[in-house]
Amino acid sequence: MRYRVLGGTGMEVSRYCLGTMMFGSVGNPGHEDCVRIIHAALDQGINFVDTADMYSAGESEEIVGKALQGRRDDVVLATKVHFPMGEGRNRGGNSRRWIVREVEESLRRLRTDWIDLYQVHRPDHTTDVEETLGVLGDLVRAGKIRAFGCSTFPAEEIVEAHHVAERRGLQRFRTEQPPYSLLARGVEASVLPVVQRLGMGALTWSPLASGFLTGRHRKGRPVDLGSGRAALTPARFDPTLPVNAAKLDAVEEFVRLADQIGCTLPELAVAFPLAHPAVTSVIIGPRTLQQLQDALKGAALVLDDATLDRIDEIVPPGTNLYHPDGAWRPPHLADPARRRRPSADDRAAA
């Protein structure tokens, strides 16, 4: 396993990061089994673990906390805040009120006195980014977190946050966590160049594109839309939809490419993001020990220029074959009222 410095923080992290979204009721409900997976990852040189408060409603953090007892000092531990935790108002978002409260809950579940990287899971357009940066800086000074970053922020919002921090004398986001895979390359257009220009670290997620790059989903094979991950988001897997048909066509090309260079499709998929100079670490999110072992087989794989050129032919740089973030949409896209001028304004102008 090789290591890189995370966004100028001085913390050295493994090129692969263990993501724990699948630990708990949403994926693998067996706590002891998940602990074994975490220990296996650490034993193979991974020293970077990423979780979030909302993964299985806090259960993932509890599993990680249990697994790291006696090994905490050897791990760079990352978690996130933003999504609602429970019913009621003011139990989510990026406000000072919520972050101050929720960081304590994460520390309790993780059984630790500090978090190495605390990430804002998504933008919150009801909260001024100055408010968010201010409270995160206070948490650094209080010793509760060591550094902070953002996750799945558009490039313009990363730049805005950087400028606000500079103007107000605040600490700034040190990392960004975007989705990035062979099938979702949109972040190459602006997010990754901005991250690189600002000296931030990038830890990318979903290298297997929600399972499409595992080899399980192939063109012409039947899909059970009533079970597993497909039951949660059937529109993402229904092969009759044009967006999914395009993904399946690309998968066939990538399978042929992997065969030509002597690796498996998952190995090709997890090696690809690391070819970009802006990427610090790639998050792999196994549900089982076998999935972890399969993903790490590609850890030593380095893609040459000819392979990368062929990847560019299959899915052009900066192109998304699907919308990779199903958990959040910008308010100006999700709310039609933000994109439509009231008809009364037109009558008044006339």
Return the active site residues.
55
Q: Which two tokens stand for residue 65?
A: 């906390």
Nearest to 83 by CA among 111, 102, 67: 102
Element spanning 312, H or E: helix 305-314
Give the strand pairing for 48-50 and 16-19: parallel
In our burial notation (b when 16+ CB lie closer than 10 A, e otherwise), range 57-89 reads ebbbbbbbbbbbeeebeebbbbbbbbbebeeee
Q: Which two tokens stand for residue 160?
A: 């805005």
Nearest to 106 by CA among 46, 65, 163, 162: 65
- Tokens 């089982």 belong to residue: 288
Q: Which two tokens stand for residue 17?
A: 């990061």
Contact 169, 137 (CB under 8 A): no
Nearest to 15 by CA among 245, 302, 325: 302
